[in-house]
Amino acid sequence: MDQYAAKKLCDLIAKCEYFSLCLDESTDQADLSQLLIFVRTIQEDFTFNEELLSLVSLHGTTKGTDIFEAVQKSVMNYGRFDKCSCIVTDGAKAMTGTGSGFRGLLKQNNITCPTIHCIIHQEALCGKFLCQANPLKAIDLCHRKFRDFLSEMDAAYGGFALSF
């Protein structure tokens, strides 16, 4: 990222009321793990911006500690976690683990913003079951998983109306 783009992003984050992060880890063509960190800023007038905060190559392992260190370093380059309202992850064990996973390391470091599982990844996981041999059984399983996910969100954040 050039200096002008980095300064612009730094100014956006400094002036925003809140920001959220979206994390996705995948593997490139050279079989190297890449962590994409997107940031969405919300300004005082409710305008928002979405930018790529950082692209971090994860050499070696992709454990929760590796992801946490990469996210922490990226956020600290542009400010702190004080204004972070939410972090969205892909639901991998390294992200969601409450001990040595990313979520657990956030808590251990007193970073209290909620982490949620991206709904698109939830939908993709449910869609995988539709390709099974028994489509009716798969649809029921999908339905139960999605219903359980919504129940978890209601328990954590309240306000969802479930009509299953």
pLDDT at 120 > cutoff 60: no
Structure tokens at 127: 């869609």
pTM of this prediction exceeds 0.85: no
Q: Which of 115, 119, 85, 91 is nearest to 103 (CA)?
A: 115
- Rounded CA-CA distance 71/106 in Å is 10
- Rounded CA-CA distance 142/70 in Å is 33
Least confident of 75-79, 127-131, 143-147, 150-154: 127-131
For the chain, state the CA radius of gyration.
Answer: 18
pLDDT tens-digit profile of 1-53?
678 888 888 888 888 899 989 888 888 888 888 889 999 998 889 888 898 99
> Do 105 and 37 contact (CB within 8 A), yes or no?
no
- pLDDT band for position 73 (50/70/90)? very high
Residue-level pLDDT at 164: 45
Contacts of 101 (CB under 8 A, 6+ apart): 64, 93, 94, 95
Least confident of 39-43, 72-76, 95-99: 95-99
- Rounded CA-CA distance 58/52 in Å is 17
Other Cβ atoms within 10 Å of 33 Cβ, number:
17
Helix (H, G, I), strand (E, B) or coil at 113: coil
More reliable by pLDDT, 120 or 143: 143
**Best CATH choice for the domain 3-117 from the list 2.60.40, 1.10.8, 3.30.300, 3.30.420:** 3.30.420
Helix (H, G, I), strand (E, B) or coil at 44: coil
More reliable by pLDDT, 122 or 147: 147
Structure tokens at 2: 């050039």
Average pLDDT over residues 62-76: 88
Q: Alpha-carbon torsion 123, 156, 116, 101, what sign?
A: negative
pLDDT at 65 > cutoff 60: yes
